[in-house]
Structure 1
């Protein structure tokens, strides 16, 4: 397990930090004690009795006051709750310290605790945002690289040129539209992967062009597309549905009567996406690597989207269902 994964794990991160802090306090106090007073177990017990309530006090303030009110810009409520909480905490700790025989809580100690605990929490938030942004950049870069490798390799371009040449001889009027379609797909892919989110209507338009292009390549491919709802201002990560559509096109192409069904519905900020395609139950020359689904799952996690994803086979039909809640809105 890497250091970053340990840091992202709430339990391990807090366990290591608290053991480290308790250890440092123990060493500092133990070193200054007289030989006759040195009792490691008693000293450790007193440190834990004093430190642990303080830690939980700071943790509660950070998670349930700062996170819930300050980060959501409820400033008036935040200051009232924040001040009231720490006044009550100070009063409680004064009685607690006296009861367990640790002396009296000093005001300066509580102020230092509030300041240091809050600053460390803000530092943690900044670090996690940087980690999240880095992960998003890596995922987008991999998606862009994967797409470019597929679309810009000589084999793809050779097929595209041959198809365009054949249609130029039989149906020359359609060739300009085919070239424009291909150009639009490549342009959108290059521009979209530079962003964290794109408008969902742009993503839908890209999927339509992608499906239309492969319908041109495979005239047997039957496509059913259904898009419902209002897509204004709703955003989604770029090239989000591409891995699923790629797999559907690839595996259905092996069958004698390939078909793909796409249904996308947006209601408020919630999205429901269903994709169905047929495939060869036996005799397929293709093997499913799971990379497409794995990539999608990883992107859902990286972007922190509340979702439900399921994949199942029903006879010779593969069905993918994806539900996403609380999608972001363009400003």
Structure 2
């Protein structure tokens, strides 16, 4: 990175030198016959270009980093004007003060133009570095959030198996196999940025089948998909926390009859995911806003900033309505 920065600096300054040289030669082209030889004409242009660039380089590599960037503005202005005046005097004193004045204003113009180019380039570099840092931070945060999903889902699933084993259910071995398949999908999807929406919905369906066996007949689960799933993709494990919460804070928290209704609707490129679960008559003192829900909210902010998420905590039911654009980056 350091060598690349040096190469870029050399390249840009060589280009600036060449540009100033061309402009200088063109500016005195009409008076080229006043020079004794073609060589002396080009050497005059070269020397003049070098003279201008030395002042610009002193400003860029000494005055700006050591004075301007450290907010020593008064000293910076004094030294810049001073070096321009000294340069104009050295170059023009052999002719007249009129020439010195012309040189002074010409060097102010060229130095100002160089400064404008310098600050424009630096602004572009700073903006690029800021964007790269934000992107890196976003990737780090997303990876951290994705890593949190695995233990959270496993914890909830193991609780389901534990409940079946306590009931000495003959379906426990089958449920263990189903869980292993769910975990296999989760581990594989965690390595990807996106998965097929079809696969993600199949994962949710299989999870609901597992929970249905554990909850037996005391919970009625409806899972409906409307619209063309097609080849849409979605961030992995993005929808499952809403489903887990519906099970945990609805059917799992009561022995009464309960319901969970999940509707997935695809209209154009918009996915509407609605989860409605009945609430138990006696509400325990547990918080609905768990780790999984906070996690998915943060992922939605990072991945789908234009999403809409409406959560309604009503007297007899709890509703979550999520809408995201599947074509969004």
What TM-score comes out, normalization by structure 2 length?
A: 0.62
1:209 equivalenced with 2:206 (yes/no): yes
* Alpha-carbon distance, 1:310 to partner: 0.9
Q: How does 1:153-164 map to 2 (within 5 A)?
A: 156-161=160-165
Superposed CA RMSD in Å reads 3.1
Corresponding residue of 2:327: 327
Q: How does 1:301-316 map to 2 (within 5 A)?
A: 301-316=301-316
Corresponding residue of 2:75: 30
The structure 2 residue matched to 1:221, chosen from 206, 219, 222, is 219
- In 2, Cα distance between equivalents of 1:22 and 1:201: 60
CA contact (8 A) 1:136 1:196 kept: no
* Alpha-carbon distance, 1:289 to partner: 4.2
* Alpha-carbon distance, 1:134 to partner: 0.6
Corresponding residue of 2:135: 129
CA contact (8 A) 2:198 2:229 kept: yes
| Paired residue secondary structure (1:322) | strand
Corresponding residue of 1:151: 157
CA contact (8 A) 1:235 1:328 kept: no
Corresponding residue of 1:77: none
Q: How does 1:1-331 map to 2 (within 5 A)?
A: 24=69, 26-27=71-72, 29-30=74-75, 33=78, 104=109, 106-152=112-158, 156-161=160-165, 166-167=169-170, 178-219=175-216, 220-253=218-251, 254=254, 256-281=256-281, 283-285=282-284, 287-291=286-290, 292-328=292-328
Distance 1:156 1:276, change over 3 A: closer
1:153-188 per-position Cα deviation (integer Å, ceiling 9, x unaligned): xx554434466x6336xxxxxx88645422211211
CA contact (8 A) 2:220 2:260 kept: yes
1:286-328 per-position Cα deviation (integer Å, ceiling 9, x unaligned): 5124024322211111224311111113331111111112535
Corresponding residue of 1:7: none
| Paired residue secondary structure (1:306) | coil
What TM-score comes out, normalization by structure 1 length?
A: 0.62
1:255-288 per-position Cα deviation (integer Å, ceiling 9, x unaligned): 521100001111232111111000124x233512
- In 2, Cα distance between equivalents of 1:318 and 1:22: 62
Structure index of larger Rg:
2
* Alpha-carbon distance, 1:191 to partner: 1.6
* Alpha-carbon distance, 1:200 to partner: 1.2
Corresponding residue of 2:93: none
Runs of 5+ consecutive residues of structure 2 not aligned to the other structure: 1-64, 83-104
Distance 1:124 1:256, change over 3 A: same
The answer to which of 20-29 and 209-218 deviates more is: 20-29
Corresponding residue of 1:94: none
| Paired residue secondary structure (1:206) | helix
- In 2, Cα distance between equivalents of 1:205 and 1:278: 23
CA contact (8 A) 2:67 2:76 kept: no
CA contact (8 A) 1:140 1:194 kept: no
CA contact (8 A) 1:215 1:221 kept: yes
Number of aligned residues? 235
